[in-house]
DNA sequence: GTTAACATTCTTGTCGACAAATAAAATACA
DNA sequence: TGTATTTTATTTGTCGACAAGAATGTTAAC
């Protein structure tokens, strides 16, 4: 019944198909709209996006390269599971990236970088005001990635991006029910302190603030997981 | 003339095509057999590997995800250029990864890890004895990646792998003409010191040795580049 | 009732072909 | 002779189709 190419559907330009599928799937995976472990059917996606399987497959290859989907030979791909066994490895890398990227930002940022950072912080604060947890998580990621980009080290930016993405999945898993609408939100204050330290090019202070901020987030996640696991205890 | 599917050609199993193309191209890119900036023709590769363009494309998407090839829309892909402008970012990240992975190896290695590390070191020493620079570069990468894997942090392993790959390209670009066949080679000695420190679980010593080793390699690369650039000076 | 062999269905991996987009060549014009 | 424009050709992005392999369901045997 889908044989007739409906002219009302958004006409995609040649070459944009893969990127579109990639971005949509990526967002849905990170938002847990696509749950970890759930199979990814190529034909279903092809129907949904009204395109052939070829661009779908290429998007899946990209996602596989980023570790967001896992593929078994001759079998369906699945959305990657969140690895709770290696969680301390995740925390370790996340903390290190928080520190080095903030340090480098203090050293190498330009005036335009600072403007962009302030803009991202404003958007983050808006999400906090609105109490929109999904937006908070995503905008927090944008904020810190912008700082990382000001540090001018693409290797760190890439790893940090992946780590923040993984954190987005974990936070999405727990954060919603526990949200505290405190004003001003502690994260907003910490962000402001970091911005000031970067602007002042104080590397040592940046390192300390970044470490504290990371520890804060790590503790938050650990608490949430502990609270959640406690509910599963048998009586 | 290549229309007749020759039965003498190695029969590939279903599902192995992409991986084969990916691995071969990856090796050729890192060995500079495929020079940076050179275009990658899909139909030529399809003919060469005696398969359709579809698996070739998927392999290219994977390589693009790792930054080894760059793709312009509707135009030919090219082998990524070595970024000499951000070289200090590369050195910075490389040094940091040397340090943290060796530290973690000291903390978390198992007995099997040590055995594997010793095996890799032996193979590296063989390459040094043989004076095979290409093998030296590749086996040095294997050695340090094995140490990183003993540290049990997949995020570091992945970034470190990419950095060592990029280093392999850079070294390949300069190392060959300058090779010194000293015996015992300083790198072999440094590796042995690192192995001992990891086995002794001495985190502080590991950190220092890793930093020294990284500095050594960074200085080597910088010297080679400086020497090379000097030749290009106009008179 | 349980297990084993078989057939069927479903999903993936690969293929050849076509059309859009770009690059190259040929032609027209100043 | 140099530049602009049209034409040709090459290369990519996407498509539909087919076959191999795995998962599922069915029948048969014990």
Which CATH number covers residue B50? 1.10.10.10
Q: Could you tell me if residue B146 is inside a domain?
A: yes
- Same structural domain for residues B136 and B205? yes
> What range defines the domain where residue A38 resides?
17-79
Which chain A residue's Cα is nearest to B166? Answer: A155
Q: Could you tell me if residue A58 is inside a domain?
A: yes
**Cα–Cα distance for residue pair B106/B197, rounded to 1 Å:** 7
Chain A residues with CB inside 8 Å of B91's CB?
none
pLDDT values of chain A reduced to their tens digit, one per residue, 235 residues? 333 333 345 567 787 889 999 999 999 999 899 999 999 999 999 999 999 999 999 999 999 999 999 998 888 899 999 988 889 999 999 999 999 999 999 999 999 999 999 999 999 999 988 888 778 888 999 999 999 999 999 999 999 999 999 998 988 887 655 555 666 678 899 999 999 999 999 999 999 999 999 999 999 888 888 877 666 655 5
- Same structural domain for residues B27 and B138? no
**Cα–Cα distance for residue pair A210/A214, rounded to 1 Å:** 6
Find and give the residue nearest to C12, measured CA to C1'. Answer: A74
- Same structural domain for residues B31 and B114? no
From chain A, which residues contact B within 8 Å (Cβ)? 14-15, 54, 57-58, 61-62, 64-66, 73-74, 86, 89-90, 92-93, 96, 100, 104, 152-156, 158-159, 162-163
A117: left (phi over 0), alpha (psi -120 to 50) or beta: alpha
Give per-residue pLDDT as tens, B60-79. 999 999 999 999 888 889 99
Q: Could you tell me if residue B12 is inside a domain?
A: no
Long-range contacts of B213-219 (CB under 8 A, 24+ apart): B213/B98, B213/B187, B214/B94, B214/B95, B214/B98, B214/B99, B215/B95, B216/B186, B216/B187, B216/B190, B217/B94, B217/B167, B218/B91, B218/B94, B218/B95
- Same structural domain for residues B188 and B118? yes
Contact criterion met (CB below 8 Å) for A97 and A156: yes
- Same structural domain for residues B70 and B100? no
**Cα–Cα distance for residue pair B148/A179, rounded to 1 Å:** 37
| C-alpha neighbours within 13 Å on the C-beta side of residue B135 | 13
- Same structural domain for residues B109 and B55? no
Q: Could you tell me if residue A3 is inside a domain?
A: no
Chain A residues with CB inside 8 Å of B156's CB?
89, 93
- Same structural domain for residues A94 and A188? yes
Can you give the distance from the CA of residue B36 to the C1' of nucleotide D17 in angstroms?
Answer: 38
Find and give the residue nearest to C21, measured CA to C1'. Answer: B74
**B60 Cβ within 7 A of any nucleic strand D atom:** no
Name the token pair of A6.
């409906």
- Same structural domain for residues B114 and B25? no
- Complex prediction ipTM: 0.88
Q: Could you tell me if residue A38 is inside a domain?
A: yes
Q: Could you tell me if residue A5 is inside a domain?
A: no
Chain A residues with CB inside 8 Å of B159's CB?
155, 158-159
Q: Could you tell me if residue B7 is inside a domain?
A: no
**Cα–Cα distance for residue pair B105/A187, rounded to 1 Å:** 34
Could you give the number of structural domains in chain B?
A: 2
pLDDT values of chain B reduced to their tens digit, one per residue, 235 residues? 333 333 445 567 777 889 999 999 999 999 899 999 999 999 999 999 999 999 999 999 999 999 999 998 888 899 999 988 889 999 999 999 999 999 999 999 999 999 999 999 999 999 988 888 778 888 999 999 999 999 999 999 999 999 999 998 988 887 655 555 666 678 899 999 999 999 999 999 999 999 999 999 999 888 888 877 666 655 5
B184/chain A closest Cα distance in angstroms: 34
From the alpha carbon of A73, which nucleotide's C1' atom is closest? C12
Boundary of a domain, candidates A79, A107, A131: A79
Q: Could you tell me if residue A1 is inside a domain?
A: no
The Cα-based distances of A194 to A8, A19, A92, A213, B56 in angstroms read: 48, 34, 20, 9, 46
Taking every pair of Cα atoms in chain B, the longest distance, rounded to a whole number of angstroms, is 64
């Amino acid at each position: 019944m889908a044989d007739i190419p409906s002219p009302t559907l958004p006409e995609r330009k040649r070459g944009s198909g893969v990127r579109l599928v990639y971005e949509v799937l990526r967002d849905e995976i990170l938002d847990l709209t696509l749950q970890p472990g759930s199979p990814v059917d190529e034909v279903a996606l092809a129907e949904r996006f009204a395109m052939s399987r070829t661009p779908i497959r290429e998007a899946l290859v990209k996602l596989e390269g980023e570790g967001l989907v896992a593929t078994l030979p001759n079998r369906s791909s699945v959305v990657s599971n969140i690895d709770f066994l290696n969680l301390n490895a995740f925390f370790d890398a996340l903390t290190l990236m928080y520190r080095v990227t903030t340090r480098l930002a203090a050293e190498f940022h330009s005036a335009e970088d600072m403007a962009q950072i302030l803009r991202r912080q404003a958007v983050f604060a808006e999400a906090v005001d609105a109490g929109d947890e999904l937006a908070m998580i995503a905008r927090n990621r944008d904020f810190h990635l912008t700082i990382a980009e000001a540090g001018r080290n693409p290797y760190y930016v890439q790893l940090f991006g992946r780590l923040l993405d993984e954190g987005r999945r974990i936070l999405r898993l727990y954060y919603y029910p526990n949200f505290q609408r405190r004003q001003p939100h502690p994260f907003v204050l910490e962000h402001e302190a970091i911005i000031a330290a970067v602007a002042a090019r104080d590397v040592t202070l940046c390192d300390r603030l970044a470490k504290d901020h990371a520890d804060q987030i790590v503790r938050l996640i650990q608490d949430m997981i502990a609270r959640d696991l406690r509910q599963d205890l048998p009586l």
